[in-house]
Amino acid sequence: MADFDVIVVGAGPGGSAAATHMARGRLRVALVEKAGFPRDKICGDALTPRAVRELGYLGFENPGWHANRGLRLFGGGHRVELEWPRVSGMPNYGLTAPRTVLDEALARHAQASGAHLFEHTQVTEAFFENGWVAGVHAEVTDDRGRRTGERVTFRAPLVIAADGVSSRTAVKMGIRKRDDRPMGVAVRTYFDSPRHDDDFIESWLELRADSGSGGSGEPLPGYGWLFPLGDGTVNVGLGMLNTSPDFRSVDYKKTLHQWAGSVGPRWGIDPATALADAKSAALPMAFNRTPHFKDGVMLVGDAAGMVNTFNGEGIDYAMESARIAADIVVTHHGYPTGAWKSMMSSYPSIVRDAYGSYVTMGRVFANLIGHPQIMKLGLKYGMSSSTLMKFVVKLFANVYEERSGKDILDHVIAGLERVVPATSNETGMGT
């Protein structure tokens, strides 16, 4: 039994960010991770400028991870190369780092900041007293993730669930995924490549549900990526939305290898020499698990369904939502119990104000590109306009001047954010 101010479940980017911010705020924080580091996660391994900004807020010094200047896009017979926009308060570069490296580095940073890190400790459920969380029960695991039978109890009046798309913590509380929100799937592997140090990440927007993979041959709502890691390797994968008629019928691993074979010569890669088996994972989007706060438990990142519907990026929103949660906790620590609980309960409304309108736009986008004819038109005519593609990169990456932007594209995106109704992150409420 151990007592803390806050328990953070899951030491991914969101959990480690929350633990770091709160530990730096002099709170006693338990960061509980079911695996031992290093451990892998299915991801594109890319950090957009938004995510890089969050590293700065954490006081985290880049240990030399590979930087990129922007995004190279292919589709509809067009090739467009765009540098990351210059936005005040945000770096104009991205980074790539394998999740085996990134997650451990952030967890060790949280530990160095004062958080108590417990590896090989799987939280089984939260427990409650008088209708409010009082802590979590956990079991110790071995190097293979198997439970050893040793049980541990952590006590705290607040729990931050950062335990990913499956979020055992949320599910045990009855907070389940919503079927009315888009979902995605990501599949990725690694290759040696002579272009491992390319200074652009690359996306191919024209992927088709090949009939040999169980599809119709129509364009899929998603993209294939090649993200250079600067260590001799490239992360190669694809991400798809479930708004496609082909979503459940396509063999995504087979599609990945077929697509990698078609673009491989440009990168000096051969699907037959992949460094690892292709692995897949779900992408929880558009607030697909709500409410984001219940009885003293806050949901952040993937556990809260915060993956960006436009581009499948989840690292930045995991760290941002963690910072929002941590700021509420640190600011109101020491308040009288009633007032403190009330302020903790404000978390969903703050998250909704921050992301709700953007989430709504992403949901509309997901439904539109689920129609093959719309995808065809977008690829044919959209990719031919450099101005439109600049707008797309700003919008999809959510990298633009929110207030004082001089660029007309910034004004358009900011205007859309102001007028589009916000998607609710409370169960059964809002659009």
> CB of 360 within 8 A of CB of 369?
no
Domain residue ranges of the chain, discontinuous segments joined by +:
6-41+99-178+287-360, 372-419
**CA–CA separation, 222 vs 204, rounded Å?**
9
**CA–CA separation, 237 vs 255, rounded Å?**
10
pLDDT at 349 over 50: yes
> CB of 171 within 8 A of CB of 138?
no
Phi, psi of 190 (to 5 degrees): -130, 150
CA distances from 291 to 55, 180, 323 (A): 27, 14, 18
291-317 pLDDT per residue, tens:
999 999 999 999 999 999 999 999 999
212-232 pLDDT per residue, tens:
555 567 788 899 999 999 999
pLDDT for the residue 430: 47
User: Pick the residue with more confidence: 405 or 420?
Assistant: 420
Task: Look up residue 262 and give its amino acid.
Answer: S
**Predicted TM-score of the model (pTM):** 0.94
> What is the full DSSP assignment across 230-298?
SSSEEEEEEEEETTSTTTTT--HHHHHHHHHHHHHHHHT--GGG-SS--EEEEEEBSS-B--SEETTEE
Q: For the domain with range 6-41+99-178+287-360, which CATH number is right: 3.50.50.60, 2.40.40.20, 3.65.10.10, 3.40.50.300? A: 3.50.50.60
pLDDT for the residue 332: 96
pLDDT for the residue 239: 93
**CA–CA separation, 345 vs 337, rounded Å?**
12
Instruction: Give me the residues paired with residue 111 across strands.
Output: none
Q: What confidence tier does 259 reach under pLDDT thresholds 50, 70, 90?
A: very high
First to last CA, the chain: 43
CA distances from 219 to 241, 358, 382 (A): 12, 25, 15
pLDDT at 271 over 90: no
> CB of 319 within 8 A of CB of 20?
no
